[in-house]
Amino acid sequence: MNTNLQTPIDYLKGVGPNRADLLRKELGIFTYQDLINLFPNRYIDRTHYYKINQLQRNNADVQIIGTIINLQEVGEGRSKRLVATFKDETGVMELVWFRGHKWIREGLKLHKPYVIFGRTNWFNGKFNMPHPEMEFFEDHQKNLQSAMQPVYPSTEKLSNKGISNRVVIKIMQQLFAETKGQFSETLSAELLSELKLLSKSEAVFNVHFPQNQERLARAQFRLKFEELFYIQLQLIIKNLLHKSKIKGYPFTKVGKLFNDFFNHHLPFELTNAQKRVLKEIRADIGSNAQMNRLLQGDVGSGKTIVAFMSMLIAIDNGFQACLMAPTEILSVQHYNGLSELCKNLNISVKILTGSSKTLERRKIHESLENGELDILIGTHALLENKVKFKNLGLAIIDEQHRFGVAQRSKLWHKNTSPPHVLVMTATPIPRTLAMSVYGDLDISIIDELPPGRKSIKTVHRYDKNRLQVFKFIRDEIKKGRQIYIVYPLIQESETMDYKDLMDGYESIVRDFPLPNYQISIVHGKMKPADKDFEMQRFIKGETQIMVATTVIEVGVNVPNASVMIIESAERFGLSQLHQLRGRVGRGAEQSYCILMTSHKLSDDSKTRLETMVKTNDGFEIAEVDLKLRGPGDLMGTQQSGVLNLKIADIVKDKDILQLARYYAKNILSTDPSLKQPKNKAIMETYKQLGKYKNIWNYIS
């Protein structure tokens, strides 16, 4: 990087203190470097000039040569506007200004050739152009005229203060004049030649002032690759450092407990995916480094058994294990599941949650510290300072995105040396996002369902089909099955949602009357004890229908429930719909998911519903979700600052991302400390990135 790229933006000719202040506040531009990294949103082909009689009613940006023959102010008060009559040899149109009449009027010249540019509207039988960009024809011919004109990101405040796109282009041209368009190379010669990349200087010039479409495409590719390459480099280096610096406990043996369970008590044959993941985990915990692994798998793919078998290895090696889940319901479910698996093994398992009694807590604390307790399951309660392990060897965290990094590190400090960490999630994260957000974790994926699981049939029905849907429910109940009916819950409109739920509940009670049908209801306004009572009735099969808001999203396991009806399905996000659908299909029977909606649907809602009907694959669904919502939303608020990308787009550029990760890994595998002369440029850039965090503040 050139030293002068760290020069404050105030010093650039044509900027000055007021503009500098606006650029800092509105676009976060502090230095020359930041300005160079302000990449255009789109480009306009300025090589073509239209005649007025060729204009189409299509709201396009067009460029026309002509003269102003008349100027007048029209209207009164707030609706006052300045209107110019603009003509060329084929016809006339109007130019309109709603703001800043006085100074615009002073600058306009009658009967002198202008090039005007802007978006056209059709109004009252003729075309008009509001707030056109204008320049004299003779100046237009002199300027640095790139064939494609860049359009830069802007804000209302910038436009109102007269910093138009035209002004930003002028400032950018000035920057190129001052730096002579020379920018230090940031990639190695090897990468440039192997990938046939433009040099840094060519790429930067062609992204701001492209000579044609082809140069623009090559410039964008080069800069996107560079941006993603350095993110991956940072993540992989972090992972390598982690492995070399943070020593884990090597679990050298696969012992008696593991073998006994595997050979005599495994409730079903493991799938190939489960075997592969276990092998990856064994390799990690057998080495000297601390394991940091993300285990992804759809609802019902059998992550828990893999987690349990990893715990057995820890116990065989003389260590304790813990499993932390985000909610009490989920902790209890894990506890019941694991106690069942342990019943033939000589292992002690306990659960610790917010509602554990004081006496019980004291016992747990004691048996943890003296090593009698092998496995502890719980919620955030595990993080309390009182909870001390004798020797925690493996920590498993379920649904990681609900725990921050700080909470993870609290678990580490319960030991002299940090335990191995396995993070589990049933929310499939698209590969591209996983490579970027969790790029410092190793990733394992269980991508096949256990044998004998039938895939869930999903259909979309409108409100008018409700009677047929009710008939279908009656038939399923006759076969002895149970039904979920879920209503959306959106915090802002809690009263309205509560009303929807109650209306729905009443109409279901009318259609499914006592004594033939028993119905449970669960919603956020109920006391925890009442909720639990209703849940238990449904789990025991005493009620056939469970009407609920999304409280059942995580962790209710009722194998006999075979139908999931989602009301107002258009109000749910894709990942939520997929999670809800995963509540059925847990038994051997064919299960169904019915998405009920009104007729009025937005395009995004249609896409979501079509995706659900078409596929059961959580990863495919996550990819569509990422396209619809963007990376920020997908990761939840605490991680929305995850990728502050300047030019790449994690959804559209996933091929470039994979390429960048491949090359970053490759380079680090042969030269982990980037000491070789051929990687000098990469090392320099990497060091700079650390120094000027504000430039490439990619990683949260």
- CATH number, position 552: 3.40.50.300
Q: Average pLDDT over the chain, rounded to whole?
A: 86
Q: Is the pLDDT of residue 490 over 70?
A: no
Confidence (pLDDT) at 57:
74
- 83 near 105, Cβ under 8 Å? no
Instruction: Give the structural domain span for 671.
Output: 200-245+651-691
Residue 476 lies in a domain: yes
Average pLDDT over residues 458-477: 95
Give domain status of residue 7, yes or no. no
Question: Which helix H or strand E contains 545, and what residues bound it?
Answer: strand 545-548
How large is the average pLDDT for residues 254-276?
92
Q: Which residue has the higher pLDDT, 586 or 388?
A: 388
- What pLDDT, on a 0 to 100 scale, did the predictor assign at position 429? 77
The dihedral region occupied by 698, where left means phi > 0, alpha psi between -120 and 50, and beta the remainder, is alpha
| Same-domain status, 669 and 606 | no
Instruction: Let me know whether 474 and 545 are in one domain.
Output: yes
Side-chain-facing half-sphere of 367: CA atoms under 13 Å: 17
**What local confidence, expressed as pLDDT, does residue 654 receive?**
80
Measured CA to CA in angstroms, residue 133 lies from 51, 117, 119, 170, 657 at distances of: 17, 5, 10, 13, 38
Same domain, 240 and 260: no
Question: What pLDDT does 619 receive?
Answer: 81
432 against 163, higher pLDDT = 163
Written as six digits, the tokens of 531 are 């909720």
CB–CB of 90/103 below 8 Å? no
pLDDT at 314: 96
Say what percent of the chain tops pLDDT 90.
Answer: 49
pLDDT at 694: 36
Q: Which neighbouring-strand residues pair with 293? A: 422, 442
pLDDT of residue 606: 93
Q: Is residue 441 very low, low, confident or very high in pLDDT (cuts 50, 70, 90)?
A: confident
pLDDT value for 119: 86
Report residue 52's pLDDT band, with 50, 70 and 90 as the boundaries. very high
Residue 663: the pLDDT is 96
- Domain match, 400 and 497 both: no
* Spatial contact of 625 and 579, defined as CB atoms under 8 Å apart: no
* Mean local confidence (pLDDT), 653-668: 91
Confidence of residue 380 (pLDDT cuts 50, 70, 90): confident
Whether the upstream peptide bond of residue 515 has omega within 30° of 0, thus cis, is: yes
Per DSSP, the three-state class of 248 is: coil
Residue 554 vs residue 188, higher pLDDT? 188
| pLDDT of 634 over the 60 cut | no
363/403 same-domain check: yes
Based on the domain organization, do 466 and 498 belong to the same domain? yes
Convert the pLDDT of each residue in 321-363 to its tens digit: 999 988 887 888 899 889 999 988 989 999 998 888 999 999 9
* Tally of domains within the chain: 4
Q: What is the pLDDT of residues 107-142, one digit of tens each?
A: 899 999 999 998 888 887 889 999 998 999 988 887
pLDDT digits 0-9 by tens, 673-692:
999 999 999 999 999 887 75
Confidence grade of residue 402 (pLDDT, cut at 50, 70, 90):
low
Same domain, 307 and 215: no
Residue-level pLDDT at 551: 57
For the cut 70, the answer to whether the pLDDT of residue 595 exceeds it is yes
Residue 553, pLDDT above cutoff 70? no
Q: Are 396 and 462 in a shared domain? A: no
What are the CA-CA distances from residue 283 to residues 277, 420, 571 (Å)?
10, 12, 44
Q: Which of 327, 317, 336 is nearest to 256 (CA)?
A: 317
Q: Given this model, what pLDDT does residue 3 score? A: 44
Q: What is the pTM of this model?
A: 0.66
Of residues 698 and 175, which shows the higher confidence score? 175
pLDDT, mean of residues 433-442: 74
Asked if residue 110 belongs to a domain, the reply is yes
Domain annotation covers residue 696: no
Spatial CB neighbours of 377, under 8 Å, sequence gap ≥ 6: 322, 323, 324, 325, 331, 334, 335, 338, 349, 350, 351, 352
pLDDT at 447: 82
Better-scored residue on pLDDT, 411 or 582: 582
383-411: average pLDDT: 76
Confidence (pLDDT) at 636: 43
The confidence score (pLDDT) of residue 297 equals 85
Q: In the chain, what percentage of residues exceed pLDDT 70?
A: 90
More confident residue, 280 or 688: 280
113 domain-assigned: yes
pLDDT above 60: residue 97: yes
The mean-pLDDT minimum among 38-47, 94-103, 394-403, 478-487 falls in 394-403
Least confident of 201-210, 252-261, 294-303, 568-577: 294-303
Which residues have C-beta within 8 Å of that of residue 416, sequence separation ≥ 6? none
**Strands, sheet with 81-88, edge to edge from the N-terminal-most edge strand:** 121-123, 126-130, 91-97, 81-88, 61-74, 114-119, 133-136
Phi and psi (nearest 5°) for 486?
A: -115, 135
The CA distance from 225 to 207, in Å, is 14
* Residue 495, pLDDT score: 67
Check which CATH number belongs to the domain holding 53 and give it.
2.40.50.140
pLDDT tens by residue, 218-255: 999 999 999 999 989 988 888 888 788 878 889 998 89
Q: Which of 100, 111, 107, 99 is nearest to 68 (CA)?
A: 111
pLDDT beyond 60 at 405: no
| 51 lies in the same domain as 140 | yes
Work out the pLDDT band at 610, boundaries 50, 70, 90.
very high
- Residue 19 inside a domain? The answer is no
Report, as an integer, the average pLDDT of 149-160: 89
- Let me know whether 468 and 593 are in one domain: yes
Residues 536 and 470 in one domain: yes
Count CA within 13 A, CB hemisphere, residue 72.
7
* CA–CA dist 13, 68 (Å, integer): 32
Q: Is residue 633 part of a domain?
A: no
Q: What is the pLDDT of residue 271?
A: 92
Region 638-657: mean pLDDT is 69
Shared domain check, 333 and 227: no
Query: What pLDDT, on the 0 to 100 scale, is given for residue 386?
Result: 85
Q: Tell me if 436 is assigned to some domain.
A: no
CB atoms within 10 A of CB 669: 10
Average pLDDT over every residue of 591-609: 93
What gap in Å lies between CA 301 and CA 308, rounded to an integer? Answer: 14
